[in-house]
Chain A
Amino acid sequence: MGRAAPSSSSSIDSSNHSSAASSSSSLSLSIESNSKSGGRLDLTTDLRLGLSISPSHYNEFSAGASPRQQPLNWPPIRSILRSAHAGKSHDLPEHPSLFIKIYMEGIPIGRKLNLFAEEGYEGLIRTIGHMFPTTFINSSADRVHSDKYHVLTYEDKEGDWMMVGDVPWEMFLNNVKRLKVTRANRC
């Protein structure tokens, strides 16, 4: 995400993968993506420089790095619920996947859904129906003013919340950032 600006003071690794294991680039710096002047150094990196720590392990997870690049199998928490839905959470995926968050109104804990594993809208609705206690109404059906029925909505790249189902599936995949199951009487 962050583009590395060249700097003369130290070597910079713009990716956070462990490929940069050589001793010369033993520390990765995180650069703010919206900073025009080339980014600011994360203080913890300074700290590690001061302490002369330079093990190659620390490449992968400097504290200021992109948050999604947590090291494998960390934090030490057993993911029982995850394994219930087939497969381990953090092995490198063998097939490309698009995991997005999905929340249901009224339930603070969300779920994750792999959109690439669905074949289309029908599969998606079915999977969501297994994840949450809900019955969907068709987006083109008459509006039901009841809080028993739910509608599936999504946030698109522009930040707008839209009803799922209006555009072709591939276009939807390109635009969707996350999903929400909302009450029908809100739409």
Chain B
Amino acid sequence: MDPMRKKDCHDSGESVRVASTFPDEVLERVLALVKSHKDRSSVSLVCKDWYDAERWSRTHVFIGNCYSVSPEIVVRRFPNVRSVTLKGKPRFSDFNLVPPNWGADIRCWLVVFGAKYRCLEELRLKRMTVSDESLEFLALSFPNFKALSLLSCDGFSTDGLAAIASHCKNLTELNIQENDIYDKSGSWLSCFPENFTSLEVLNFAYLHNDVNFEALERLVSRCKSLNVLKVNKNITLEQLQRLLICAPQLAELGTGSFLHELTDRQYSELKRSFNNCNNLNVLSGLSEVAAIYLPALYPACTNLTFLNLSDAALQSEELAKLLVHCPRLQRLWVLDTVEDKGLEAIGSNCPLLEELRVFPSDPFEEGIVHGVTESGFIAVSYGCRRLHYVLYFCRQMTNAAVATIVQNCPDFTHFRLCIMNPCQPDYLSNEPMDEAFCAVVKTCTKLRRLAVSGLLTDLTFEYIGKYAKNLETLSVAFAGSSDWGMQCVLGGCPKLRKLEIRDCPFGNAALLSGFEKYESMRSLWMSDCKVTMNGCRFLAKEMPRLNVEVMKEDGNDDSQADKVYVYRSVAGPRRDAPPFVLTL
């Protein structure tokens, strides 16, 4: 069916359908195959019939900012949704920049879903506040509920998890990642009924209390479809070995602590268990690792595509020896304890590498720390030409190094460089790091996400505005010289969706230069910049479809707007804002 013809019908005002129109059933069948929410948005804009077919056939809805829309609007438009992904707080809340009790509570969503989405199966939340009562409500209200994923959420305790384990008879996924959870005890795990067998994904790596190991072992044994198991660091090597025997089919494994002493016999058994894990694609955990036990892992590493060593303080030689056994690695996360030598080993052993994240082992101290430097990054870029995602924490960098890196790897889509000392120049030339990011945006035409650091003037932002035509997310801290920098970005990056800025000298002129742009963006965050309340009020007045929120801290000058969060919304101003959030 030619969409153009549909359009003509619509335009000519005919209310009678043209005979050769697609029947709804066929259209809905076809649209059911369209999964990407961006594609579905496009589909819904073609014409009214397609809008209707799309909304009836949509089963998964993604809401990138929970305050951009209300639950009532969502359920009204999409009556058949079974899976919801919701993101709440601004990303800088990860670094304590958002005061507690800010909002993004899942409760009001669950109440509406409880009424309209009785068949809800999946809920994936990021940076939302979730209470134990909400989790209990969830467990009791949706008989088909299958998958719960909580990432960077807060407000709940292990009691809530116990409710989920007790009542969700069809649960396939329980994914508790990196949350601010009140970990009362590990007894939640024992709440899974003895006849419960449907679990496919279990991740409790970041919970601290002991779970009952026998209960866990029985659970793992009887859940034959278990695919993903990530245990916490209290699980010993010996216990891990027993779990591997129960579940050799695992595709993703997160180990516990890799430290406790093993006898020779226990070590051989462990190695044999790993040998039986032929399907392992993803490996993580390895906290407190005793390097002598790492070789037990080697047999299971052949098919690894993602190795997450961000909890394992490995030295360079240990990493090098391990990487020899991981020829297919595409994603690697490490701590900077591996140092430049470790990164050289990555360059030598991982030709298929696409993503590298190097985390700082000691970010808040500047004692005698080593970490990684620009040489390690350069070494990786020579060896891993497919690299397109990098997150790199370091204490020194040069413009020349970055230029070399992007010349070797021009396909970067995500370039996040964090030079940990704010405003640090190129340590060899003592110049600002402007030319580094110029090289990045000029060379990497596919760049979608960028985080800048180091000493930066407005020039960096001129380059970004001029060259970064595919940029969607930009993170800026302690950079820029004047309003002009931010104006360049707002004026120049057509695909910009998220802009987060802290501690920069950007003021009202910069804020207001983008006021038309903000409606095409998800959100803008500016904290500790030079924006005033009057500037924010002006923006709010000019753009009624934006929510302009200011978070006030006590004791600060009333005319300064310390933290500004601007986002588009069809739901109007928040009705649940706490007293310290002023909606203008």
* Chain A interfacial positions (CB closer than 8 Å to B): 43-44, 47-48, 51-53, 55, 57-58, 61-63, 67-68, 70-78, 80, 83-84, 88-91, 101, 106-109, 133
Contact = CB atoms under 8 A, between A and B. Distances in A.
Given A90-B96, A109-B337, A77 B360 contact: yes
B94 interface: yes
A44 B427 CA distance: 10
B467 to A, nearest CB: 22
Interface of B: 92, 94-97, 152, 178, 180, 183, 206, 208, 259-260, 288, 290, 313, 315, 337, 359-367, 393, 418, 420-425, 430-432, 455, 457, 475, 477-478, 481, 503-505, 528, 530
Nearest to B261: A148
Nearest to A44: B425
Contacts of A106: 290
Contacts of B478: 57-58, 61, 71
B361 A76 contact: no
A106 B183 CA distance: 29
A75 B430 contact: no
A73 B260 contact: no
B426 to A, nearest CB: 10
Contacts of A101: 367
Nearest to B179: A80
Contacts of A48: 423, 455
A109 B313 contact: yes
A124 to B, nearest CB: 21
24 contacts: A44-B425, A57-B504, A58-B423, A61-B421, A61-B422, A62-B423, A63-B425, A67-B366, A68-B366, A71-B422, A73-B96, A75-B360, A76-B92, A76-B94, A76-B418, A76-B475, A77-B363, A78-B94, A78-B95, A84-B208, A89-B364, A91-B96, A101-B367, A109-B337
Given A44-B455, A47-B430, A57-B503, A75 B313 contact: no
Nearest to A78: B94
Contacts of A62: 423
A82 B503 CA distance: 24
Contacts of B475: 76
A70 B364 contact: yes
Given A67-B366, A75-B393, A78-B94, A109 B422 contact: no
Query: Of A44, A53, A76, which is in contact with the most chain B CB atoms at under 10 Å from its CB?
Result: A76
A9 to B, nearest CB: 20
Contacts of B359: 77
A51 B457 contact: yes
B363 A75 contact: yes
A80 B425 contact: no
A58 B529 CA distance: 12
A108 B315 contact: yes
Contact of A63 (B95, B363, B423, B530): B423
A51 B425 CA distance: 13
Contact of B477 (A63, A74, A77): A74
A83 B95 contact: no
A40 to B, nearest CB: 14
Contacts of B152: 78
A83 B97 contact: no
Nearest to A68: B366
Contact of A75 (B361, B418, B431): B418
A70 B208 CA distance: 29
A67 to B, nearest CB: 3
A116 B122 CA distance: 47
B171 to A, nearest CB: 25
